[in-house]
Amino acid sequence: MLIADNQKKILTLLADGEFHSGAELAEALGMSRSAVWKHLNGLDALGIRYAAVSGKGYRLSHPIELLHGDGILAALGSERRALVSRLEIHDQIDSTNTYLSRLARQNAPSGHVCLAERQIAGKGRRGRQWVSPYGSNILLSILWRFQQGPAAISALSLAVGVAVIRALRRLGVGNAGLKWPNDIFSEGKKLGGILIEVAGENEGPCHAVTGLGLNLFLPEEEAGSIEQPWTDLNRIAGGRPVGRNRLAGELIDQILPVLAGFERTGLAAYLDEWREYDCLRGEWASVFIGTQQFDGTLEGIDVQGFLLMRDAEDRLRAFASGEVSFRRPYP
C-alpha cells in the first residue's frame, strides 16, 4: 500500500505534533472534514498513531520530520556531495537494499543513495526483519562499485561502523559504540545495524550495497516483535531532538568517503578507531556459528577484522563470522 498524496499532505500539516482541527485540515486540503477523517484512518496501516480530541482536533502521537532531498544534501560537504550520483527518497519500499541491488544489476553507478520513510520488507542480518514505522527512523542504502573482488572488501562493514559513530558524535551523541560485526549499540542495547550485500566476480569487479537502519524514534507498540534489547536516539539523546534530515546527511557525508577509499586504505585506516568504539571488549560472551557455541572473554578484533576470544583454557580463537551474545543480562 502506497501512501496517498492527500495522506502525505495531512502528515506534513500534522508533523509538528500540535493539534489541528478538522476544519483547518479540510480547508488546507480543499476537501470535506469526512474525507480528512477517512484519510486519517488509513494512517494506522503505516504505523502512525494519532489522537483525536473533541474541541481540539487531531495530533500525531509524536512529531515527525519527513525526509527532504535538499535538507539532506545541505549536510554534505562539497567533495562528498560530488560522490552522490543520485539521491532517491521513497515513501514506501520493500527494502532499500533490495531496490539498489536491482538497480546495480542494471548498471546503476556508484554513489546511488536510497532512503525510505517506511520499509515493508526491511532486512537485518540472517534474514531478520527490520522494524520501523513510517517517517520515524533512518532507512538508508548506498551503492558502490569496486574493481577488486568481494574478498578485498570483506571488512567493509567495520569501517562503515566507524563512519556511523563519527556522524553520531558530530551531532553530539557520544554514548554509542560498535558491537562486532555490524551493530550500533548504546548502553547494552541495539541502536542500529549495518547490512552489506556484495555481488560480482570473485577476483574481479563487484558491487556492494551498504544498508543502514538506525532507530531515531521507535514506539514500544511497534517494537513488540524485536527479540533483543533495543534503544533509539530519542532515548539516549536525553530528549534533545535530533533532526532526521540532518542525521541522514551526516551519515551519508561520513559513509561515502569510506566507500570511495576502502580499496586503497582497507581496514587499517579504521582499525584503531574501531577498537576505541568497541563496546564488547572485556565482556564474557558466547559466539554462535550454526549449532556450535564458543564461550570466553572478548579481546577486540585483529588486523583482518576477525573477532578475538580467549576461552577458559586461555586459548585465543579468531572468528571471521558468527553471532555474538552476552552471557549476562543487559543492565
Determine the Cα–Cα distance for residues 118 and 123; give it in Å rounded to an integer. 12
Q: Which residues contact 272 (CB under 8 A, 6 or more apart)?
A: none
Determine the Cα–Cα distance for residues 212 and 139; give it in Å rounded to an integer. 6
Instruction: Report pLDDT for 330.
Output: 42
Among 72, 92, 307, residue whose Cα is nearest residue 167: 72
Among 4, 295, 293, 305, residue whose Cα is nearest residue 182: 305
The 307-310 sheet, strands edge to edge: 316-319, 307-310, 292-301, 284-289, 323-326
| 130 in Cβ contact with 123 (< 8 Å) | yes
Give the CATH number of domain 5-60.
1.10.10.10
Instruction: Report pLDDT for 1.
Output: 45
Domain ranges of the chain: 5-60, 69-276, 280-326
Q: Give the angle 137-3-226 at the CA atoms, nearest 5°.
A: 35
Determine the Cα–Cα distance for residues 190 and 107; give it in Å rounded to an integer. 34
119 marked as binding residue: yes
**Backbone torsions φ then ψ of 277, nearest 5 degrees:** -90, -5
Among 281, 258, 106, residue whose Cα is nearest residue 178: 281
**Backbone torsions φ then ψ of 31, nearest 5 degrees:** -140, 175
CATH number for domain 280-326, candidates 3.40.470.10, 3.10.20.600, 2.30.30.100, 3.40.630.30: 2.30.30.100
Instruction: Report pLDDT for 329.
Output: 39
Cell 535538507 -> residue: 71
Phi/psi region, residue 30 (left: phi>0; alpha: psi -120 to 50; beta: rest), is left
* Residues assigned a catalytic role: 125, 190, 327
Count the Cβ atoms, other than its own, within 10 Å of residue 8.
16
* DSSP states along 107-155: TPPTTEEEEES-BSS-B-GGGPBPP--TTSSEEEEEEEEESS-GGGGTT
| 123 in Cβ contact with 211 (< 8 Å) | yes
**Class of domain 69-276 as given by CATH:** alpha beta
Q: What is the pLDDT along the chain (331 residues), one digit of tens a residue?
A: 467 788 888 888 988 889 999 899 999 888 898 888 888 887 777 778 888 898 899 988 888 899 999 999 999 999 999 999 999 999 989 999 999 999 999 999 999 999 999 988 766 555 555 567 788 899 999 999 999 999 999 999 999 999 999 999 999 998 999 999 999 999 889 999 999 999 998 888 999 999 999 999 876 555 555 667 889 998 887 667 789 999 999 999 999 999 999 999 999 999 999 999 999 999 999 999 888 999 999 999 999 999 999 999 999 999 998 888 865 434 4
| 177 in Cβ contact with 277 (< 8 Å) | yes
95 marked as binding residue: yes
Determine the Cα–Cα distance for residues 216 and 270; give it in Å rounded to an integer. 25
State the greatest distance between any 2 C-alpha atoms of the chain, in Å, as a whole number: 74
Whether the model clears a pTM of 0.75, i.e. scores above it, the answer is yes
Determine the Cα–Cα distance for residues 21 and 179; give it in Å rounded to an integer. 46
Among 67, 57, 50, 64, residue whose Cα is nearest residue 15: 64
Among 214, 217, 213, 212, residue whose Cα is nearest residue 241: 217
| 285 in Cβ contact with 325 (< 8 Å) | yes
- 297 burial (CB, 10 Å; 0-12 / 13-18 / 19+) is middle
96 marked as binding residue: yes
Determine the Cα–Cα distance for residues 41 and 35; give it in Å rounded to an integer. 10
Instruction: Report pLDDT for 241.
Output: 74
